[in-house]
Structure 1
Amino acid sequence: MKIKTIKKLKLYGFNNLTKTLSFNIYDICYARTEEDRKGYIEYIDEQYNAERLTNILTNVANIIGANVLNIAKQDYDPQGASVTILVSEGEIHPKDAEHFDDNESPGPLPESVVGHLDKSHITVHTYPESDPDKGISTFRADIDVSTCGKISPLKALNYLIHSFDSDIITIDYRVRGFTRDITGKKYFIDHKINSIQNYIASETKELYHMIDVNIYQENIFHTKMILKQFELDNYLFGVSKKELIPKERKRIKQRLKHEMTEIFYGRNIPKV
């Protein structure tokens, strides 16, 4: 496949634009007993411990073409984990530099994408928690990828979505600062973007309802995603649907959907 050559913007000095991707996922489940709720938290802590999160973020660094300078990671007591990776400019092969693709399109899953980076970082924090009254347990992971230079961290988005089992996803992307060309003209963004959705694979988008809230004049982009299909067994921990009487199934389903709706819209919603 022939890769289209991108006309490069000639800059005066280093590209000073800061591009930040904030990627937040939520996994929701119902655990009806205290023992089940503790079991869910233990399961999440094992699935998304600091070691596995480090592997995920290291792959993100590889996708955006960064050299890893330093890794700080921590599992917390009683729950949760954090990882911070400092990254620097990656080596660029001349042929890759000539044909670098910064079009609106999904990134790899994963294969190496190269670009110019410096003074950059990647972080993740996890937040498992439970509702003490309604049996709802929630796992949230917050990932931030901040880069300076030509490449956009959006190229790592497709990989990140596939690295987590996500019921709800919120994504923010912002370009800050400015850089100058050789004539002194300021550029407040150096690539075209219409929607974050254009960086997500079509087969993934088919699974989610999606909403955009974009402020184009400020280079701020926001996308929210929530799964279309709801199968109760996928949201139960420590029990299966066939073990529940129909009345309890209905009650649990209503609680789960209400919880998901509140998280998706970011506000408390009265029950009808």
Structure 2
Amino acid sequence: MRIEDFSLDFFSLHGKTAIITGGNTGLGQAYALALGKAGAKLFIPTIKEEDGACKALFEQEDIEAEFMTVDITADGAPARIVQACIERFGRLDILVNNAGICRINEVLDFGRKDWDPMIHVNLTAAFELSHEAAKVMIPQRSGKIINICSLFSFLGGQWSPAYAATKHALAGFTKAYCDELAQYNIQVNGIAPGYYATDITLETRSNPETNQRVLDHIPANRWGETQDLMGTVVYLASKASDYVNGHLVVVDGGYLVR
């Protein structure tokens, strides 16, 4: 391909369909909205029934979206999700494994009751959904799988050993599936967000001491805004990233370098 053939259309997702797990709330909603604004049709599995707010947001932006209330860890759920997406939109081009949970406990109290659900949601469901998506993407010789990792794909972290364990494992799975699927023109990458100004971090940000402790570690000297992640997911889902594979894109304002 000649360099003059490059076009900003490489970033367009028109004609594409994306599954975004947990894409109706939090950062997942931001990923979904970004993909939709870029032209993709959205299929959103969510464990909580959609209350209409997210649907209204997408309709306002003229984004076509379908919601499915489902527990992604249930037996057979990943296959049903992919099949439902194909039945609704006729294709699957992008999978964003966004859904995740974080249970917190003191180390001696953090047992299997905390460990097992996190393994099921954060890791096993992502594997099973990717496995089902690959069955569609391999025959069509194209596809994008984006795993939402974390700074704790690189770090330890206290109070939730399962979180760091699953996010490290998801990073490894990203690389392993790249190695398996790149030959079929399928790109498998991860996004590792840093510290973001979301509802989950409100308590930390509201305390001057803990807020400053985080900021002291971020060269950008600010918490991330949700919008900071939206361009990254569009890039990784688009033709513009067709030679980016097995990579974790860290979006953290420089946190890991300090």
With the length of structure 1 as denominator, give the TM-score of the two structures: 0.29
- The structure whose residues are more often helix, as a share, is 2
Higher relative contact order (CA closer than 8 Å, sequence separation 6+): 1
- The structure whose residues are more often strand, as a share, is 1
With the length of structure 2 as denominator, give the TM-score of the two structures: 0.30
